[in-house]
Amino acid sequence: MSYSKDTLDRIFHPGSVAIVGASDNLFKMGHRCVLSLVEIGFEGQIYPINNKVDSICGLRTYPTLMGAPGDVDLVIIVVPATYVPEALRVAAKKHAAGAVIITAGFKEIEDRTGAALQTEITRIADGAGIKIIGPNTFGMVNIGAKLNASFTPPFSHLKSGTISMLGQSGGVCHLVGFQAIDEGVGMNKIVGLGNRCNLGFPELIDYVGDDPETRTIILYLEGIEEPRAFMEAARRVMRRKPIVGLKVGQSDAASRAVQSHTGSLSGKYGLYYSAFEQAGIVPAYDTVELLDIAKILNIAPRPGGNKVAVMSFQAGPGIMLTDLCVSHGLEMAQFSGETVNGLKELWPDLTIRCNPVDLAFVSDMDVFGKAAKLVLEDANVDAVIVFYLDVMSFFTAAISEQLIPLATQAAKPIVLCVNFPVKLSTPETEQGLARFHENGIAVYPLPERAVKALKGLVRRAEIERTFR
């Protein structure tokens, strides 16, 4: 095994966590790290290390890490950079498996003392068999294990699911994680790799690849030093699990900024996307697309090709979806004569409008169901996008009654694009949308998001055919 599975298991499922640099000052990261563990309801032992106050967030503190009871599986370090080596030495004595080093000021700063310090902590960690997440990271979460080892208490509100993210930027992990909170997308692990001392993408890709709790993997890259190992790990894992990736650093200015962020060379942007293609990683180009694609890869059946049928209860968005399909390299399906005739029978009064199918005049949901069945069963159709505005709460229930039985029979993906004011949404709508999701139908609020997600799914299906 090319990675330390047992060590990583102890890190992601720790029995005990110590916070070196725990603070009772609400504005300090050392406070928020304690709060994160408390808010998610971590069920193991939490040892806030602080020699000035007796308790933090209602938890008893310990003046020193050495003084904490017994061994410690995971140590979160939030003290200034120069104190990190000593903290790691004590962590070694406490037989820690891992250290989440949130502290910055290592390889990413141009002052050489930073790089020297990073070399030193890596040496200490390697000597003790400790794996470091970071330094210069927001931390990590493992929602399935109720572990929020980060400086971000709101991550405790993430819904537990089967998508895991490995990211080189805390900020970007937050964009994805916050979207997951708002849209109820279930996540398993989110790991901010930071400067990567002795734990990088290859090992973590293999780990989540073998992780029974992870079904789909998100990668966010700025620049990596070990392209070969990265490619090998991705190639191994993508056969079993979908991987979707985003790389930044396209412009020169961004590329320079990458270097000063995590001390990595950004490399040629285009080369990364070529590498994604070779390694069977589905490409994404912004954070919304990243999560949107992961969401559909996680649940939807694979389309046999790129021919899409659009069915819309509102004509304008149907037209937008059509434009978007074409501009994103999907094809608008040509319906068979049988489908066209079948649709004409359903709407005898109106001239049948082929793909996109305009449902504006359809008030009888059975008629919609029959039309959707005809379209789904057409051999020229690989995937169907359905659009509607949810302006009346019964609508989602009525649509799901028709679509869910079809989705469970069909081996083709149905993508739902449903728009409504989220502020005014009802529990009926939210429950209805969750039901779609449970039945393999991914739901998006905007045409552009639905189409980009479907494009990602089409790409993944190609990858699965190629590497079958």
- Near a second copy by CB under 8 A: residue from 22, 320, 403, 450: 320
Q: Least distance from C-beta 375 to a second copy, angstroms?
A: 15
Q: Which range touches a second copy (CB under 8 A), out of 200-208, 292-300, 316-324, 454-462?
A: 316-324
**In 3D, which of 215, 213, 193, 220 has the Cα closest to residue 276?**
220
Q: How far apart are CA 282 and CA 169, in angstroms?
A: 19
Of the two residues 225 and 286, which places its CB atom closer to a second copy in the complex? 286
| Strands 59-60 and 55-56, bridge-based pairing | antiparallel
Q: Is 260 near a second copy (CB under 8 A)?
A: yes
Between 217 and 246, how does the x/- string for binding to a second copy read (CB under 8 A)?
---x-x------------------------
User: What's the alpha-carbon Rg for the chain, to the nearest Å?
Assistant: 25
Question: Which DSSP state fits 278?
Answer: H
Residue 96 neighbours by CB distance under 10 Å: 28
Q: Do 185 and 158 meet the contact criterion of CB atoms below 8 Å apart?
A: no
Q: Least distance from C-beta 72 to a second copy, angstroms?
A: 26
Q: Is 316 near a second copy (CB under 8 A)?
A: yes
Q: Which of residues 285-304 bind a second copy (CB under 8 A)?
A: 286-288
- Near a second copy by CB under 8 A: residue from 24, 59, 95, 314: 314
Q: Is 332 near a second copy (CB under 8 A)?
A: yes
Of the two residues 125 and 291, which places its CB atom closer to a second copy in the complex? 291
**SS3 state of residue 243:** strand
Q: Is 271 near a second copy (CB under 8 A)?
A: no
Q: Is 118 near a second copy (CB under 8 A)?
A: no
Q: Least distance from C-beta 62 to a second copy, angstroms?
A: 26
Question: Which pair of structure tokens corresponds to residue 86?
Answer: 């000593």
Q: Which range touches a second copy (CB under 8 A), out of 49-57, 195-203, 318-326, 377-385?
A: 318-326
Q: Is 50 near a second copy (CB under 8 A)?
A: no
Q: Least distance from C-beta 5 to a second copy, angstroms?
A: 28
Q: Least distance from C-beta 456 to a second copy, angstroms?
A: 17
Q: Which range touches a second copy (CB under 8 A), out of 44-52, 124-132, 201-209, 347-355?
A: 347-355
Q: Is 257 near a second copy (CB under 8 A)?
A: yes
Q: Which of residues 422-461 bind a second copy (CB under 8 A)?
A: 422-424, 446-448
Token match 């909170």: residue?
Answer: 181
Going from the C-alpha of 54 to that of each of 3, 154, 216, the distances in angstroms are: 39, 25, 42
Q: Which residues, 6+ apart, have CB-to-CB distance to 303 below 8 Å?
A: 382, 383, 412, 413, 454, 457, 458, 461
Q: Which range touches a second copy (CB under 8 A), out of 51-59, 317-325, 402-410, 436-444?
A: 317-325
- Near a second copy by CB under 8 A: residue from 203, 358, 378, 382: 358
Token match 């069977």: residue?
Answer: 280
Give alpha helix (H) positions in 196-268.
Answer: 201-210, 227-238, 252-262
Of the two residues 66 and 360, which places its CB atom closer to a second copy in the complex? 360
Q: Which range touches a second copy (CB under 8 A), out of 67-75, 252-260, 378-386, 428-436?
A: 252-260
The residues facing 100 across adjacent strands are: 76, 133
Q: Which range touches a second copy (CB under 8 A), out of 42-50, 62-70, 150-158, 230-238?
A: 150-158
Q: Least distance from C-beta 292 to a second copy, angstroms?
A: 13
Q: Which of residues 159-188 bind a second copy (CB under 8 A)?
A: 167-175, 178, 181-182
Q: Which range touches a second copy (CB under 8 A), out of 15-23, 70-78, 291-299, 322-330?
A: 322-330
Q: How far apart are CA 180 and CA 447, in angstroms?
A: 19
DSSP, residue by residue, 75-139 = EEE-S-GGGHHHHHHHHHHTT-SEEEE----STTSSSHHHHHHHHHHHHHHHHHTPEEE-SS--E
Q: How far apart are CA 381 and CA 156, in angstroms?
A: 41
- Near a second copy by CB under 8 A: residue from 277, 338, 345, 361: 361
Size of residue set near a second copy by CB under 8 A: 76
Q: Do 311 and 357 meet the contact criterion of CB atoms below 8 Å apart?
A: yes
**In 3D, which of 68, 64, 93 has the Cα closest to residue 79?**
64
Q: Is 340 near a second copy (CB under 8 A)?
A: no
**SS3 state of residue 423:** helix
Q: Is 307 near a second copy (CB under 8 A)?
A: no
Q: Is 43 near a second copy (CB under 8 A)?
A: no
The single-letter code of the amino acid at 57 is C
Q: Which of residues 362-421 bind a second copy (CB under 8 A)?
A: 387, 389, 391-392, 394, 419-421
Of the two residues 209 and 245, which places its CB atom closer to a second copy in the complex? 245
Q: Which residues, 6+ apart, have CB-to-CB distance to 400 below 8 Å?
A: 432, 435, 436
Q: Is 215 near a second copy (CB under 8 A)?
A: no
Q: Do 127 and 96 meet the contact criterion of CB atoms below 8 Å apart?
A: no
Q: Least distance from C-beta 63 to a second copy, angstroms?
A: 26
Of the two residues 142 and 168, which places its CB atom closer to a second copy in the complex? 168
Determine whether 251 is exposed, middle or buried from the number of CB atoms within 10 Å of its CB (0-12, 13-18, 19+).
Answer: exposed
